[in-house]
């Protein structure tokens, strides 16, 4: 005699037409993460590192780029650029393109897909990119550059506004024929 029950558990689908269990596929899966491009320039190392009297002024720019691959699979690239100067002297320049292969669940509509790719995926990638930037600047002889948390919703909203403005300018015939604008 078997210890297994004769009837299927409640909610289990079967040939009698009972409801099938809902898919447990998450709406967003990151299948791979990688450094796509990393550049650290320390052009005035001897000057900057021997005159440690002042902290460099650092500016950080962030951009998110997405590329459709196949089906529901996309590449999301988080671009971070840090520029540090002591007055007019370049202290360091770091650029990182940190990418991921992202799969979007089949039940996700196009609007939700745009939000997941432009907001949620970069939010998940950010801690890894931040650590790479901090380690590279430390290894370059400077204190680690810890990039502050980023509001990816605001970046997405600025990108959408810039896209709308370009579309309106193009429709009005005032397109200046320049390349796509980068929103930081």
Looking at domain 28-162, its CATH class is alpha beta
pLDDT for the residue 19 = 52
| Token pair recorded at residue 73 | 């699979």
pLDDT for the residue 181 = 41
Q: Positive or negative, the Cα torsion across 153, 154, 156, 157?
A: positive
Q: Is 176 exposed, middle or buried (0-12, 13-18, 19+ CB in 10 A)?
A: exposed
pLDDT for the residue 46 = 83
Beta bridge partner(s), residue 101 = 32, 75
pLDDT for the residue 26 = 76
Candidates 86, 104, 83, 105; CA nearest to 94 is 83
Distance of CA 150 to CAs 33, 61, 131, 167, Å?
Answer: 19, 10, 14, 27
pLDDT for the residue 175 = 46
Q: Where are the domains of the chain?
A: 28-162
- Confidence (pTM): 0.74
Q: Is 15 exposed, middle or buried (0-12, 13-18, 19+ CB in 10 A)?
A: exposed
pLDDT for the residue 56 = 81
- Which residues in the chain show pLDDT less than 50? 1-2, 4-5, 7-15, 20, 175-184
pLDDT for the residue 96 = 98
């Amino acid at each position: 005699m078997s210890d297994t029950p004769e009837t299927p558990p409640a909610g289990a689908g079967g040939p009698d037409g009972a409801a099938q269990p809902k898919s447990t596929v998450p709406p967003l899966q990151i299948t791979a993460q990688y450094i796509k491009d990393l550049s650290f320039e320390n052009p005035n190392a001897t000057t900057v590192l021997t005159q440690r009297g002042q902290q460099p002024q650092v500016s950080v720019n962030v951009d998110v780029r997405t590329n459709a691959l196949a089906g529901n699979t996309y590449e999301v690239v988080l671009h971070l650029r840090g520029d540090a100067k002591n007055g007019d002297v370049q202290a360091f320049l770091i650029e990182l393109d940190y990418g991921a292969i992202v799969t979007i669940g089949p039940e996700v509509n196009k609007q939700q897909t745009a939000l997941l790719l432009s907001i949620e995926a970069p939010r998940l990638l950010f801690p890894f990119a931040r650590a790479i930037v901090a380690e590279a600047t430390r290894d370059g002889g400077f204190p680690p550059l810890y990039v502050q948390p980023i509001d990816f919703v605001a970046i997405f909203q600025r990108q959408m506004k810039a896209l709308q403005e370009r579309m309106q300018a193009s429709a009005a015939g005032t397109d200046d024929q320049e390349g796509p604008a980068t929103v930081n």
